Structures are given as C-alpha cells and as structure tokens.
Amino acid sequence: MTTLVAGWLVFLVAAATPGPSTLAIASLAVSEGRGRALRFVAGVVVGSQVWGLLAVLGFAAAMEAYASLAVALKLLGAAYLALLAVKALRRSGKDAAIAARAGAIERPFLAALALHLSNPKAVFSWLAVVVVGVPGGDLSHAVPFLLGCLVLAILINGGYALVFSNPAVQAGYRAARRGIERAVAAIFGAFAAALALSAVRQT
C-alpha cells in the first residue's frame, strides 16, 4: 500500500503540472464551454492510461533505451503543438464570432488523444511513475495502481475543465480574448520549439 500511495503522489504531481494538455483543456473550456472541454478531458485521460499501460509493459523503458523512438515522438509532438500555436494565432486576429468557428475543435476526444499520445512528457513522466508505483515490474500492483491513476487523471483534468469553464472566467476571456489567444499561441510555440530542439540534440 505504501508503494501504491508513493506512486500515486508522483503521478499527482506529474499530471497536475501545467503542460500542453492542461493548457489545451483550459483554452477549450474558456472558449467553447464545459461540455466540449470534458470530452477533450476524456481523450486526455484515455491517452494517459494508454501510456501508463505501455509503461508497465516496458515500452517507456524501450523508448529510453532506443533514442530513435524518442526522437520520432518528439518531432511528432512538436509538429502538433506548432499546429495548435498557428491556430491560436489565427484566432487572435479574427472577430469573436469568426474566431469561434475557426477555432472550434470538431472532435475534442480524438484531438485530445492525438495531443496526449504525441506528448513525450507523458511518456517519461509515466516511466518515473511506474518505477515508484510498480517496483520491479510487479504486475500484481499494476491493476490497482493504474486504476488509482485513472481516478486522479479524471479529477485533475476534469478540475481544469470545470474551473476554466466558470462563467466568470469565460467573461474574463471574452474581454481579453485577443491577448489570451496570442499568449496561448506563444506558449504552444515554445513547447513545440523545446521539443524540436530536444529531438535535434538527441540525434
């Protein structure tokens, strides 16, 4: 039980730390509302559990051992984040109604799944989490451990969606929409550049 709790604490810190997925949840919640943000959260949670399962089965360790796998994932993630940055920047230059149509995510669940599965931070965070929560690769710990992480992922990411879809937060977003979209674009661009630079250094 002590091992499980320690692993859950590591996961809690990793999942709650702001990153591309949490930024995307917040941005979608303030601009498109709670329902669509929660569908995005579902994609993030599923993506997280996929990486968790693969980490337990040893894929994350394989990525650490074989640099080409990590490089490919980093480049894929950088490209996707750059696309999100461009979309946010374009929205910032449009009128509110046009921006809402241009920025709408047609399939929030699939978009979130693509974002999370192409995020190397998730992979290596899970590697650290599994080392603590499933010591020695003991699969008898894996099922309860992953179930606990699932609950935490729902609470953390769902919490972001609920907070940022609050009417007061949405009103503040509408008042400062252009500046916020430019800031979101800059942050996504910084994430993309950092991933691309990391991939180049690793080659």
Longest Cα pair distance anywhere in the chain, in angstroms?
55
In this prediction, residue 103 carries a pLDDT of 44
143-to-8, 55, 117, 132, 133 alpha-carbon distances in Å:
13, 13, 21, 14, 11
Whole-prediction pTM value?
0.69
Q: Which residue has the higher pLDDT, 30 or 96?
A: 30
pLDDT in tens, 85-135: 787 777 666 554 444 444 445 688 988 888 888 776 677 777 777 777 776
Distance of CA 146 to the CA centre of its chain: 17
Distance of CA 187 to the CA centre of its chain: 13
* CB-based burial, 185-203: b 16+ in 10 Å, e otherwise: bebbbebbeebbebbeeee
